[in-house]
């Protein structure tokens, strides 16, 4: 029973990830053929002065570009302490349906949502005469492209923020490191190259041993691994994403754990879901990059 419950938890969280963070172009129906190089940003073509952002990442980026253009942001733990977003009305989003009445009451001239996750709400708002913008990010280039597009929408200069992103990647140690990212235990999921995590590892020139793996995972950009496959890959570095219920502790109790070279050399790193798996916000992206830099430095 516990195993079934955990499987449901993993599917719910990663389905949210797949809908909000995987860069899959609208022209392609086969996930394995999708290019994660840029976000699909469609809809709005003018500038806006009153914006409701339905995702934390979009709200954060807009807040850094010009917070005065925001009239509504998601009620997210990622934004609670964001100094750029204080006193802006919050919209209950996440896994709950968007409160359309609350959004309409804010009289926005643009609502920005995530493709695949806010589609129904954006369609309804369009029917009500409110312009919308649909976005998605699944790669580093996608983050940069989205930032430029949002800057266009509010007539802002994206250069300082784009330059800040590059500092996250600057002065990397010249080292070759092989790694596996373990996102859950039952089943064992790992990102391949068609994911935000996979592309982020590539930016750091970390060899993702699952980059070219294909499998039967229901989540695009993620594959299932058997314990035998992990042992066969035997990475220099293991990155364990904390998804709740002491994920790292659970892995450490597996029979294969002590046989892995990453464990034997004490090169096991714990990552938060936001930043490495789901971009989350600029701050969580920076935190993930800081830890990846530590991986290369040791």
Instruction: Give me the CATH number covering residue 232.
Output: 3.40.50.1980
Asked whether the predicted pLDDT for residue 39 surpasses 80, the reply is no
Asked whether the predicted pLDDT for residue 118 surpasses 60, the reply is yes
Q: Are residues 108 and 222 in the same domain?
A: no
Query: Is residue 17 a part of any domain in this protein?
Result: no
**Rounded to whole angstroms, how far apart are CA atoms 20 and 14?**
10
Preceding omega of 187 cis (within 30 degrees of 0): yes
Structural domain count of the chain:
2
Which pLDDT belongs to residue 85?
95
Which pLDDT belongs to residue 29?
25
What's the angle, vertex CA 14, arms to CA 151 and CA 150, rounded to 5?
5
Burial environment of residue 100 by CB neighbours within 10 A (0 to 12, 13 to 18, 19 or more): middle
- What the block records as the tokens of 180 is 């596996």
Which pLDDT belongs to residue 142?
95
Query: Is residue 124 a part of any domain in this protein?
Result: yes
Instruction: Tell me which residue of 112, 110, 155 sits closest to 136, measured CA to CA.
Output: 112
Cβ atoms of residues 217 and 224 within 8 Å:
yes
Percent of the chain with pLDDT over 90: 68
Which pLDDT belongs to residue 47?
86
Asked whether the predicted pLDDT for residue 261 surpasses 80, the reply is yes
Provide the 8-state DSSP code for 88.
P
Tens of pLDDT, residues 219-243: 779 999 999 999 999 999 999 998 7
Asked whether the predicted pLDDT for residue 2 surpasses 90, the reply is no
Q: Are residues 124 and 62 in the same domain?
A: yes
Q: How far is CA 222 from CA 12, 16, 105, 160, 279, in A?
A: 14, 13, 39, 33, 16
Rank 91-105, 113-127, 274-288 by mean pLDDT and report only the highest. Answer: 274-288
Neighbours of 264 (CB within 10 A): 11
Percent of the chain with pLDDT over 70: 83
Q: Are residues 212 and 283 in the same domain?
A: yes
Domain end, chosen from 81, 115, 135, is at 135
Q: Are residues 180 and 67 in the same domain?
A: no
Which pLDDT belongs to residue 46?
78
Q: Tell me the backbone φ, ψ of residue 123, rounded to 5 degrees.
A: -65, -45
**Rounded to whole angstroms, how far apart are CA atoms 194 and 132?**
27
Asked whether the predicted pLDDT for residue 276 surpasses 50, the reply is yes
Q: Are residues 194 and 124 in the same domain?
A: no
Angle between helices 56-66 and 282-297 (to 10 degrees): 100
Instruction: Tell me which residue of 263, 286, 284, 281 sits closest to 272, measured CA to CA.
Output: 284
Which pLDDT belongs to residue 22?
35
Which pLDDT belongs to residue 27?
26
Which pLDDT belongs to residue 69?
97
Instruction: Tell me which residue of 42, 32, 44, 25 sits closest to 219, measured CA to CA.
Output: 32
Mean pLDDT of the chain: 84
Which band of pLDDT confidence, cut at 50, 70 and 90, is reported for residue 41?
low
Q: Are residues 179 and 291 in the same domain?
A: yes
Tens of pLDDT, residues 142-161: 999 999 999 999 999 999 99
**Rounded to whole angstroms, how far apart are CA atoms 11 and 19?**
12
Query: Is residue 58 a part of any domain in this protein?
Result: yes
Q: Are residues 202 and 123 in the same domain?
A: no
Which pLDDT belongs to residue 191?
95
**Rounded to whole angstroms, how far apart are CA atoms 150 and 158?**
8
Tens of pLDDT, residues 158-204: 999 999 999 999 888 778 899 999 998 888 999 999 999 999 999 99
Tens of pLDDT, residues 6-27: 443 444 444 444 443 333 322 2
Which pLDDT belongs to residue 249?
92
- Domain span at residue 79 reads 42-135
Asked whether the predicted pLDDT for residue 90 surpasses 50, the reply is yes
Which band of pLDDT confidence, cut at 50, 70 and 90, is reported for residue 34?
very low
Which pLDDT belongs to residue 28?
24
Q: Are residues 109 and 184 in the same domain?
A: no
DSSP assignment string, 182-236: E-EETTEEEE-SSSHHHHHHHHTTEEETTTT-----SSTTEEEE-HHHHHHH--S
Q: Are residues 289 and 211 in the same domain?
A: yes
Averaged pLDDT for residues 261-277: 96
Instruction: Tell me which residue of 196, 79, 223, 181 sits closest to 137, measured CA to CA.
Output: 196
Q: Are residues 207 and 285 in the same domain?
A: yes
């Amino acid at each position: 029973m516990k195993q079934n419950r955990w499987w449901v938890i993993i599917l719910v969280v990663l389905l949210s990830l797949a809908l909000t963070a995987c860069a899959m172009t609208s022209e392609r129906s086969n996930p394995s053929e999708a290019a994660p190089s840029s976000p699909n940003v469609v809809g709005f073509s003018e500038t806006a002065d009153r914006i409701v952002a339905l995702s934390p990442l979009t709200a954060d980026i807009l807040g850094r570009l010009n917070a005065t253009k925001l009239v509504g942001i998601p009620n997210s733990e990622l934004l609670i302490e964001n100094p750029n977003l204080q006193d802006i009305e919050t919209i209950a989003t996440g896994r709950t349906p968007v409160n359309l009445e609350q959004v309409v009451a804010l009289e926005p001239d643009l609502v920005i949502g995530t493709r695949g996750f806010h589609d129904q709400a954006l369609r309804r708002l369009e029917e009500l005469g409110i312009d919308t913008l649909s976005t998605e990010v699944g790669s580093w280039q996608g983050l940069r492209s989205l930032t430029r597009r949002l800057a266009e929408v509010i007539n802002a200069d994206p250069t300082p923020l784009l330059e800040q992103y590059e500092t996250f990647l600057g002065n990397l140690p010249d080292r070759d490191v092989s790694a596996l990212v373990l996102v859950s235990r039952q089943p064992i999921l790992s990102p391949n190259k068609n994911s935000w995590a996979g592309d982020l590892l590539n930016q750091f020139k970390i060899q993702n041993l699952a980059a070219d793996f294909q499998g039967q995972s229901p989540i695009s950009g993620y594959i299932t691994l058997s314990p035998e496959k992990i042992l066969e890959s035997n990475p220099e570095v293991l990155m364990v994403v904390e998804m709740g219920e002491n994920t790292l502790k659970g892995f450490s109790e597996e029979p294969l754990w002590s046989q892995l070279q990453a464990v034997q050399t004490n090169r096991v790193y714990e990552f938060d879901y936001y930043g490495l798996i789901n971009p989350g916000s600029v701050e969580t992206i920076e935190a993930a990059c800081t830890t990846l830099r530590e991986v290369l430095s040791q």
